[in-house]
């Protein structure tokens, strides 16, 4: 009897060790939570990634949108459709793509501390009144910042006026956690003048 008890205690200890090791990030509905990162940034969603019977199950919308893809749900067929956005292998390819948004040139800055910036220069001039035109460019620049994995992005015009934002807020926008208005409200706009002042 004593031998059986010792064996049971030993078996329980091994089992407890496996459970605690596999649930380092917590447990969701009895399954170990799997932490998911995209380009070093943690992907957070209402339902986390889990390990189900040795298979990693991930929230498709959160992961897809963190990668810049769009997810559509068809309720009639119970189908999730993922439409990937074009990926660009180099700044040169990104610059060619952004010509469609009147972007003159792009650059990538780092200070060596982990802070990185994606910078895009607008061929025109920002002024209150043509926001719709450059807001579309801002959203595309933000998407490319996500692709590059920078911490921030800066959109500047030919007069060094600038619009800056964080890639974290861009990711929240593309993940549906911020509306377009909320995302645009997070941007820092510096030295943007009225059109009449620029013309004088």
E-state strands within the chain: 27-28, 31-34, 37-38, 41-42, 49-52, 55-57, 70-74, 79-83, 103-110, 116-122, 152-156, 162-166, 188-190
* pTM across the whole model: 0.57
The set of residues, in sequence order, having a beta carbon less than 8 Å from that of 48 and lying 6+ positions away, is 25, 26, 28, 33, 34, 36, 59
Residue 103 predicted with pLDDT over 90:
yes
pLDDT digits (tens, 9 = 90+) for 79-89: 888 876 655 56
The lowest-confidence range among 14-23, 53-62, 106-115, 142-151 is 14-23
Radius of gyration over every alpha carbon of the chain, rounded to an integer in angstroms: 23
Q: Which residue has the tokens 């719709």?
A: 132
Measured distance CA(163)–CA(156) in Å, rounded: 6
């Amino acid at each position: 009897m004593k031998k059986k008890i010792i064996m049971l205690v030993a078996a329980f200890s091994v089992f407890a060790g496996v459970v605690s090791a596999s649930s380092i990030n917590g447990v969701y509905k009895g399954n170990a939570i799997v932490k998911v990162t995209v380009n070093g940034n943690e992907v957070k969603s209402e339902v986390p990634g889990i390990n189900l019977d040795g298979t990693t199950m991930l929230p498709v919308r959160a992961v897809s949108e963190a990668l810049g893809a769009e997810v559509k749900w068809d309720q009639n067929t119970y189908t999730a459709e993922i439409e990937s956005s074009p990926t660009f292998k180099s700044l040169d390819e990104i610059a060619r793509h952004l010509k469609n948004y009147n972007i003159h040139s792009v650059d990538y800055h780092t200070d060596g501390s982990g802070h990185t910036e994606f910078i895009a220069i607008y061929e025109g001039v920002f002024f209150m009144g043509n926001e719709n035109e450059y807001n579309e460019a801002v959203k595309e620049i933000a998407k490319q910042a996500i692709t590059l994995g920078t911490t921030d992005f800066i959109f500047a015009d030919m007069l060094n006026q600038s619009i800056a934002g964080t890639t974290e807020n861009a990711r929240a926008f593309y993940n549906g956690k911020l509306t377009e208005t909320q995302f645009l409200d997070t941007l820092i706009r510096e030295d943007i003048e009225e059109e009449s002042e620029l013309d004088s």
